[in-house]
Amino acid sequence: MKRLFILISFLLGASIAHAACSGSSPTRTAASAANADVQVCVTAAVNGDTILVPAGTVSYGTTAVDIPNTKCLTINGQGGVTISSAYGFTMEPTTTCESRITGFGFTSSGGNPPTTPINVTSTTSTYCYRIDHNTFSNTARSIFLVVSGNGPGLIDHNSFNGGGASEEIHNLGMGASSEAGWQDTIVPGGSQMVFIENNTFSTSSTTVYCSALEAYYGARTVARYNTLNYCQLDEHGTNGNIGVRWFEFYNNVFNNLNQNQSTAIAIRAGAGVIFGNTTTGNNSSDPQYLDIYYDGPSGTWPMAWQPGSGYNGYTTPHGSCSGPRNTAPIYIWANPALWTMSLNAGGVAAAVAANRDFFLSASQPGSMSWMESSTDTCSTTYTYTPYTYPHPLDTSGGSTVSQPQTPASLQSTVN
């Protein structure tokens, strides 16, 4: 009798699971858009499976669907699923293959984890993940997507629209207490970055602009071929916090919609390149600035994490080169004529200087002096080439992707 009861319980459980998730590898279909049904499919799936989620508007309450680090899966909302809760998906990429979240709409304002519509926790050893063709929209101050761990990722063809002062993507790097992001090798133009490309960033506010990206704690980010409507890119190095390590910002379109948007790009830490960006819809009475400044504690130059710092640049002072020159200057070329350089705005006076912490030119320099690995020295130079575009994981083949633009002539001035 006991054995019969166990058998019946097993069969009943299997029947319920089957009802929540139908199909078999490589394509499974959740019974509904409810998180419990999607999670059943995740549990049943094997590497490489696609889980189709039927149309519906749902709240996940306080339980996100989790894609664990033991599986690489595609979760596809097919353009018909709206998730209204702050809890949406958590993804922990594997070390063997890619996972993907595509085709969903998110309407919560979200926040930092755990109240985040999509939260990705990676490591430097994980494979690239992809988050694409989703929409994120809320009229409140919003954080829609958070990534951490400095694993490679592709965030492409999404639409973000938050309220004023939204910080729509957070890249939390190695975390607030870790200097690890300043102690490993960076390959300029390499694949081991978070790529943010071909997205649209907007805000519902007409008085307070948004941040498309806020990066922190040794993060490394590439933002390219995006359209930013009244939004900026921000690389943090706030007083008392570990600054970002690396950035590559190029071929983005900044549209301030004729509003008073003072800053297009704010750099407070780290090194990288900024080139080929364009502007439209500018308010001529309020020109946009490319801010480069350091607002950490005062000290002897070069200070920890400050703009222009490279490998092991997390102490005050850290190594420098003759000239004097910081260990990994920022290189800036071919950006909008309306952009004006603004140095040390709100930061430590004279902490950042031209031809020491950054170099400004009309075209790309033939070589760039960077110390970005343990074997680099002051005489090490790089020839920079951007990573493959579109990103290899962009399986659309670039059909909806803006083609590379010819960089505009640079006429910026240094204050």
The pLDDT tens digits for 166-224 are 999 999 999 999 999 999 999 999 999 999 999 999 999 999 999 999 999 999 999 99
Q: Is the confidence at residue 406, as pLDDT, over 50?
A: no
Q: Reduced to 3 states, what is the DSSP secondary structure of residue 9?
A: helix
| Residue pointed to by tokens 């490309």 | 197
Q: Is the confidence at residue 341, as pLDDT, over 90?
A: no
15 — pLDDT class (breaks 50, 70, 90): very low
128 — pLDDT class (breaks 50, 70, 90): very high
Q: Reduced to 3 states, what is the DSSP secondary structure of residue 397?
A: coil
Angle between helices 2-20 and 35-44 (to 10 degrees): 110
Backbone angles phi, psi at 137, to 5 degrees: -150, 130
210-238: b or e for each residue (b if 16 or more CB lie within 10 Å)?
A: bbbbbbbbbbbbbbbbbbbbbbbbbbbbe
| Assessment of whether the complete model's pTM goes beyond 0.75 | yes
326 — pLDDT class (breaks 50, 70, 90): very high
